[in-house]
């Protein structure tokens, strides 16, 4: 009546454990048989369940709330609130419980307070070469990638790498200790860091080595490129460069570890499977793609291999609850290196063979393979050679999603991890795309292997460089797309829509047109729905794209806006309008708010254009409400109007509408003048020949200012004694000591300039007054920042920066400085007087006698400038007339398009015209025959004698009924027709179009024939 599970030792099942051992007493035998050997036992006679003689009790709530236990609670124990368990073992650092009836064990480990830095072997003993010393010439790629980044990522960390040659390896592993923050009561002084550097393309990954159940496992903390990493590190991504390549980095590389309790979950489902240990997903980050880690639960067996069981999504229908989709199971087989780890710190290495097996059921105990589906082996894009097909395909697919969500599979039967194989299946789970390889034989007999889309019938990934060139020309700076084509060579551009686009923000020195993609924004992805990519057909002329939906149009418009393709934005605005937006469309439209800091002239025009066409579309939560202020945008547009490109100019009617929509009690003067001007321009067509329109403008009073270039100052020539008393007084304190160092430039010169500007210098200043300015102009004080600087230019700059109270005075000192500033040739004259400084008490004696250094200099300059050979060399400053506001403007109707060209908007307002007006006079300079110009304005194909290829039939000949003048449908009851836009334009346009078609039909019945192409 005593039973044990089949997972116990076989000797327990056959009863051989009851045989006494040699030399064993009865007491020892009884204790061994009843308590030590049997782990789990059910005694039917006594109705008792024991676990090594321990009684049952409820599992501690702290264990049940532990994050590592959540998976067990949500799967094995999802139907219970309390879990019964029995203690297996209790030691100083570990509690071990077995869950009753669940075949699962839980082990709670106490924190490990040992200082690993002091334990030999805790860092991989194979890493003995200190980086970057002793690198071979072919290993310089490691230093190129890591040298500049290592001090920033891991400051003061000495990294060690293998002494083996890593020249041709896809990656290199380094390790080092980082110092922990000092905490009272802890012995852990350092944390172990592992750095993985990938060669092609350059990527840096930083891991923390953490203790988990007395095993050392890695946790990914930082990646320099989220697009090329197998895991998306938590935290806000930020742009960074590695080896000059811009990418999104994520994570904090300097994080440290501290002792913490850990929980180990194991299971023993059958004797065949043995004991399996649950591997938390964080320890697989960066090792396996996130798409697999999020989909499967991984258990490690006693042979160290892993089994991944699919997290089932259960659906309920008439068949009852069952799994959604075909079931699969992952098997990760470790190909271990021959080196045996004897340190006990998990320093051994291995390669992994990851295979996906199709199964018929989800039971973890019994595996039934589905023979109708193939077994797939996962291919590692990162480890592939740089010129291989797998690497090139992976880099192409990284345009659609991060490599953490790109799965490349092979159906080749592989026994080892380095065998040659084919590429048979590509999956992008987050974008919900997949491609299947097919062998195609072309008409010419050439055999090709193409990746056909499973979601877009007949389309495959194009490898043509011409197709790529066409797409790049149409998309400009947008790079995250691939080109598809079909058997008819029609091209399609596939863009992932689940990537949130943002503009790279730089330091503000210039506008960035670089797109940064946030591909893990879950809210954005959830709003996408089932279709998470946009397919843009390319017109057969290869000149433009076609947008199949409103969302695709809006997404492309936002991409164009980010990349600075404002003309494309302006053209697309009119096709990106709806009265009510879906969640997907609304989140795309809201991205325009983050582009409000774009102050390009065309950007203002695009925003105003969008404001103009969204008038009257409603004020609901899902309506198109422009997130910018029309008034502010109009002010900037008017100010920069002359710089707006022709393709982005607003028409006069659009400007008038926007001026009416501008909010505020009173428009600023610039907008009032613009409104008067635009209104007059809009009415020019109504003027008779020879008439003109006068526009009255408001005049804004200009604030008074002191003009430095108000005219010549010849005080030094007429009255050299008309001086500033202060310049003589403080000029005696002037000294040229230590100014020789200024000639060398650099920091000394910069400090001198900063001191001079911040001190508020003036002519009467002792240190930075008239004597210094004079020495700068004549070259005595050799001030330079750059070796090519001219001292005279610095002197001229400082003279013009004098306070207005100084330069507005007609004094000899200022007059001399003005003349030398405007005449550099005269300032460098070999005979120009030099400032001779007095020494000692002579400074003050000369000042009271009128014979100080400044007075002598002014007298000598007066005599020098009045010489007959020098006086003709003096050139006065250029005096410009100050701006005066214009109060009126006279406008005349333009005689040709060359007049008022800023108002020529190159857009066709009415496509229903049969003829278009061309300015033949202005086209005369172009070498185009007049007959071809006339044909272009009416029938472009007439020069090839199109009548010989077209036969004309009337509606009567074609036995077609006459067209009614009434609108054939009634939409007046629809809510969308109640808006101002629909009532005033859309319905009127529909009615007008129907009447036009009817009138043409009547004309056709009288002999005006409609063209019908003959076969």
DSSP string, 469-500: HHHHHHHTT----EEEE-TT--EEEEEESSSE
Helices (H), 341-386: none
Which is higher by pLDDT, 786 or 261?
A: 261
Task: Write out the two tokens for 196.
Answer: 């993985």
Q: Quick check: 454 and 428 in contact, CB under 8 A?
A: no
Strand locations in 100-229, DSSP E?
104-109, 129-130, 160-161, 171-179, 190-198, 203-212, 215-223
Q: Say how far apart CA 262 and CA 168 lie, in whole Å.
A: 39
Mean pLDDT lowest for which of 125-134, 390-399, 725-734, 797-806? 725-734
Classify burial at 448, counting beta carbons within 10 Å of its beta carbon; exposed 0-12, middle 13-18, buried 19 or more: exposed
Predicted confidence (pLDDT) at residue 673 exceeds the cutoff of 70:
yes
Q: pLDDT grade, residue 896 (50/70/90)?
A: low
384-398: b (≥16 Cβ within 10 Å) or e: beeeeebbebbbebb
- Percentage of residues in the chain with pLDDT exceeding 70? 85
Q: pLDDT grade, residue 1006 (50/70/90)?
A: very low
Which is higher by pLDDT, 188 or 107?
A: 107
Q: Say how far apart CA 102 and CA 80 lie, in whole Å.
A: 12
Stretch 947-956: mean pLDDT, rounded?
A: 74
Stretch 345-364: mean pLDDT, rounded?
A: 89
Cis, bond preceding 132 (omega within 30 deg of 0): yes
Mean pLDDT lowest for which of 221-235, 831-845, 852-866? 831-845
Helices (H), 311-397: 389-397
Task: Determine the pLDDT at residue 496.
Answer: 94
Q: Say how far apart CA 477 and CA 454 lie, in whole Å.
A: 28
Predicted confidence (pLDDT) at residue 274 exceeds the cutoff of 70:
yes
Helix (H) or strand (E) holding 822, with range, is helix 812-822
Predicted confidence (pLDDT) at residue 471 exceeds the cutoff of 60:
yes
Write out the DSSP string of 694-757: EEE---PPPPP---TTSS---HHHH-TT---HHHHHHHTT---TTGGGGGG-HHHHHHHHHHHH
Task: Name the average pLDDT for the chain.
Answer: 83
Q: Quick check: 1008 and 974 in contact, CB under 8 A?
A: no
Predicted confidence (pLDDT) at residue 1007 exceeds the cutoff of 80:
no
Predicted confidence (pLDDT) at residue 461 exceeds the cutoff of 90:
yes
Mean pLDDT lowest for which of 214-228, 255-269, 316-330, 397-411? 316-330
Task: Determine the pLDDT at residue 1013.
Answer: 37
Q: Say how far apart CA 145 and CA 945 lie, in whole Å.
A: 66
Q: pLDDT grade, residue 516 (50/70/90)?
A: confident
Task: Write out the two tokens for 240.
Answer: 């960074």
Residue appearing with tokens 């030999």: 120
Ranges 421-425, 703-707, 797-801, 916-920, most confident: 421-425
Predicted confidence (pLDDT) at residue 945 exceeds the cutoff of 80:
no
Task: Determine the pLDDT at residue 729.
Answer: 58
What does the pLDDT look like over 842-868, one tens digit per residue?
655 555 556 777 888 888 898 888 898
Predicted confidence (pLDDT) at residue 144 exceeds the cutoff of 90:
yes
Predicted confidence (pLDDT) at residue 6 exceeds the cutoff of 70:
no
Task: Determine the pLDDT at residue 1005.
Answer: 41
Tell me the pTM. Answer: 0.75
Q: Report the SS3 class of residue 632.
A: helix
Residue appearing with tokens 């109007």: 641
Predicted confidence (pLDDT) at residue 114 exceeds the cutoff of 70:
yes
In sequence order, the 6+-apart residues with CB closer than 8 A to the CB of 701 are none
Task: Determine the pLDDT at residue 909.
Answer: 57
Task: Determine the pLDDT at residue 847.
Answer: 57
Predicted confidence (pLDDT) at residue 400 exceeds the cutoff of 90:
yes
Task: Write out the two tokens for 528.
Answer: 């996408």
Classify burial at 610, counting beta carbons within 10 Å of its beta carbon; exposed 0-12, middle 13-18, buried 19 or more: buried
Q: Say how far apart CA 554 and CA 560 lie, in whole Å.
A: 10
Q: Say how far apart CA 547 and CA 554 lie, in whole Å.
A: 9
Task: Determine the pLDDT at residue 432.
Answer: 93
Task: Write out the two tokens for 498.
Answer: 């689940």
Q: 10 Å Cβ neighbour count for 285?
A: 24
Predicted confidence (pLDDT) at residue 935 exceeds the cutoff of 60:
yes
Task: Write out the two tokens for 697.
Answer: 């403008």
Mean pLDDT lowest for which of 271-285, 325-339, 389-403? 325-339
Which is higher by pLDDT, 237 or 745?
A: 237
Q: 10 Å Cβ neighbour count for 535?
A: 20
Predicted confidence (pLDDT) at residue 355 exceeds the cutoff of 70:
yes
Write out the DSSP string of 251-268: E-TT-------EEEEEEE
């Amino acid at each position: 009546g005593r039973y044990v599970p089949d997972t116990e030792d076989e000797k327990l099942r056959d009863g051989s454990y009851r045989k006494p051992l040699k030399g064993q007493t009865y007491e020892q035998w009884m204790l061994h048989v009843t308590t030590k050997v049997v782990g789990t036992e059910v005694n039917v006679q006594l109705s008792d369940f024991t676990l090594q003689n321990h009684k049952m009790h409820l599992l501690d709530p702290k264990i049940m709330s532990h994050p590592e236990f959540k998976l067990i609670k949500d799967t094995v124990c999802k139907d219970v609130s309390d879990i019964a368990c029995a203690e297996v073992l209790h030691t100083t650092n570990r509690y071990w419980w077995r869950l009753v009836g669940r075949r699962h064990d839980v082990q709670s480990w106490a924190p490990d307070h040992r200082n690993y830095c002091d334990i030999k072997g805790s860092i991989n003993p194979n890493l003995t070469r200190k980086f970057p010393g002793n690198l071979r010439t072919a290993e310089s790629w490691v230093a190129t990638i890591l040298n500049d980044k290592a001090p920033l990522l891991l400051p003061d960390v000495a990294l060690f790498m293998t002494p083996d040659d890593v020249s041709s390896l896809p990656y290199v592993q380094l390790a080092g200790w980082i110092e922990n923050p000092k905490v009272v009561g802890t012995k852990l002084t350092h944390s172990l860091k592992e750095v993985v550097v990938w060669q092609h393309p350059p990527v840096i990954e930083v891991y923390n080595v953490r203790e988990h159940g007395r095993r050392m496992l890695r946790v990914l903390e930082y990646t320099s490129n989220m697009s090329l990493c197998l895991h998306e590190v938590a935290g806000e991504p930020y742009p960074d460069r590695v080896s000059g390549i811009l990418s999104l980095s994520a994570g904090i590389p300097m994080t440290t570890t501290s002792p913490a309790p850990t929980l180990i979950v194991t299971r023993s489902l059958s004797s065949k499977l043995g004991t399996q240990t649950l591997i938390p997903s964080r320890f697989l980050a960066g090792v396996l793609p996130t798409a697999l880690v999020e989909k499967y639960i991984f258990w490690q067996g006693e042979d160290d291999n892993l089994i991944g069981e699919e997290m089932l999504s259960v659906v309920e229908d008439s068949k009852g609850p069952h799994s959604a989709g075909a079931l699969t199971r992952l098997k990760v087989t470790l190909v271990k290196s021959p080196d045996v780890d004897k340190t006990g710190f998990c320093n051994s290495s291995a390669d992994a063979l990851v295979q996906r097996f199709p199964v018929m059921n989800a039971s973890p105990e019994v595996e039934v393979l589905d023979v109708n589906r193939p077994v797939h082996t996962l291919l590692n894009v990162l480890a592939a050679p740089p010129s291989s097909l797998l690497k090139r395909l992976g880099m192409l697919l990284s345009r659609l999603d991060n490599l953490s969500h790109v799965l490349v599979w092979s159906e080749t039967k592989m026994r080892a991890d380095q065998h040659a194989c084919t590429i048979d299946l590509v999956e992008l789970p987050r974008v919900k795309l997949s491609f299947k390889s097919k062998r195609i034989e072309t008409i010419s007999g050439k055999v090709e292997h193409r990746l056909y889309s499973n979601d877009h019938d007949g389309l495959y990934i194009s490898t043509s460089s011409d197709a790529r060139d066409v797409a790049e020309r149409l998309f400009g700076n947008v790079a995250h797309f691939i080109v598809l084509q079909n058997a008819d060579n029609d091209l399609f551009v596939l863009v992932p829509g689940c990537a949130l686009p943002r503009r790279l923000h730089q330091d503000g020195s210039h506008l960035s047109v670089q797109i940064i993609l946030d591909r893990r924004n879950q809210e954005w992805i959830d709003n996408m729905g089932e279709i998470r990519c946009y397919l843009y057909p390319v017109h057969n002329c290869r000149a433009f794209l076609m947008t199949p939906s409103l969302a695709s149009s809006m997404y492309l418009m936002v991409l164009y806006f980010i990349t600075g393709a404002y003309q494309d934005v302006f053209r697309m605005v009119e096709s990106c309008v709806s009265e009510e937006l879906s969640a997907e469309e609304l989140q795309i439209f809201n991205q325009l708010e983050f582009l409000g800091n774009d102050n390009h002239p065309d950007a203002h025009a695009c925003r105003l254009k969008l404001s103009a066409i969204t008038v009257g579309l409603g004020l609901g939560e899902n309506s198109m409400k422009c997130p910018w202020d029309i008034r502010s945008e109009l002010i900037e547009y008017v100010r920069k109007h002359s710089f707006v490109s022709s393709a982005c100019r607003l028409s006069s009617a659009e400007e008038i509408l926007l001026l009416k929509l501008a909010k505020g009690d009173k428009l600023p003067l610039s907008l009032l003048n613009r409104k008067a001007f635009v209104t007059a321009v809009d009415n020019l067509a109504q003027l008779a020949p020879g008439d003109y329109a006068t526009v009255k403008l408001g005049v804004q009073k200009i604030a008074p200012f002191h003009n430095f270039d108000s005219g010549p100052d010849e005080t030094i020539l007429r009255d050299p004694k008309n001086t500033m008393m202060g310049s003589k007084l403080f000029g005696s304190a002037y000294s040229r000591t230590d100014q020789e160092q200024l000639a060398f430039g650099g920091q000394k010169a910069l400090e001198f300039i900063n001191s001079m500007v911040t001190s508020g210098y003036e002519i009467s200043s002792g240190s930075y007054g008239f004597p210094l300015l004079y020495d700068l102009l004549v070259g005595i004080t050799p001030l330079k920042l750059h070796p090519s600087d001219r001292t005279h230019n610095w002197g001229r700059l400082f003279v013009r920066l004098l306070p207005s109270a100084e330069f507005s005075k007609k004094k000899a000192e200022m007059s001399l400085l003005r003349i030398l500033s405007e005449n550099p040739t005269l300032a460098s004259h070999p005979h120009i007087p030099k400032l001779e400084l007095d020494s000692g008490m002579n400074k003050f004696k000369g000042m009271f006698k009128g014979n100080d250094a400044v007075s002598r200099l002014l007298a000598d300059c007066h005599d020098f400038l009045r010489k007959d050979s020098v006086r003709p060399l003096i050139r006065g400053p250029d005096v410009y007339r100050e701006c005066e506001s214009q109060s009126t403007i006279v406008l005349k109707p333009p005689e040709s398009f060359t007049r008022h060209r800023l108002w020529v908007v190159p857009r066709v307002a009415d496509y229903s015209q049969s003829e278009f007006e061309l300015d033949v006079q202005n086209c005369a300079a172009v070498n185009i025959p007049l007959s071809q110009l006339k044909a272009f304005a009416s029938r472009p194909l007439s020069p090839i004698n199109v009548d010989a290829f077209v036969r004309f039939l009337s509606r009567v000949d074609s036995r077609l009924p006459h067209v009614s003048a009434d609108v054939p449908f009634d939409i007046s009851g629809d809510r969308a027709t109640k808006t101002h836009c629909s009532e005033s334009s859309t319905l009127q346009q529909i009615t007008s179009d129907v009447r036009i078609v009817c009138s043409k039909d009547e004309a056709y019945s009288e002999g005006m024939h409609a063209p019908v192409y003959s076969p």
